[in-house]
Each structure stands twice: as structure tokens, then as C-alpha cells.
Amino acid sequence: MVIKILGGGCKNCQNLYKNTMEALEIVGIEAEVLKVEDINEIMSYGVMKTPALVVDEEVKIMGRVAKSKELAKLFKS
């Protein structure tokens, strides 16, 4: 699983990264987690509002910080 956190490095982006790492620990899944800050790459996903979460090249969450429990459910499915 490859997970990308899209955003310019703001506080919300940092919180989404932290929550993502916590969720992966909760479900016991190993994944490659990347931070993407390049605006052109972010826009290539059709994301206009950050932070965003991309799982295996599919945008799952955009424009908000998801909680760890919500992310854990997402990663299990």
C-alpha cells in the first residue's frame, strides 16, 4: 500500500500525517507513506483543497483532517 499526504506542509497536513501513522499502527499494516508538497503533482490528482489523502493512487479524503479511527477503517477495507 502506498499512501500519499498531499499538501504544502501546513499544520493540517502534519496532523493528517500523524493520524495516518497512528491508524496504520492500530490496524497493523505496513505502508509506504509519502508527503507530496509539489503543487503540480497535487493538482494532477484533481485536488483543489488540502490536506488530501491518496491511497494506491486514489484520492480518499480531501480538504480535511481525518481522525485516526476513521483512517483505520479506511485502511482495513
Distance separating alpha carbons of residues 10 and 2, to the nearest angstrom: 21
Q: Grid coordinates standing for 70? A: 476513521
**Residue 34 annotated in active site:** no
- Options 1, 2, 9, 10, the catalytic residue: 10
**Residue 10 annotated in active site:** yes
Q: Are 16 and 62 in contact (CB under 8 A)?
A: no
- Options 6, 13, 16, 71, the catalytic residue: 13
Spatial strand order in the sheet of 32-36: 32-36, 2-6, 52-55, 58-62
The residues that are catalytic are 10, 13
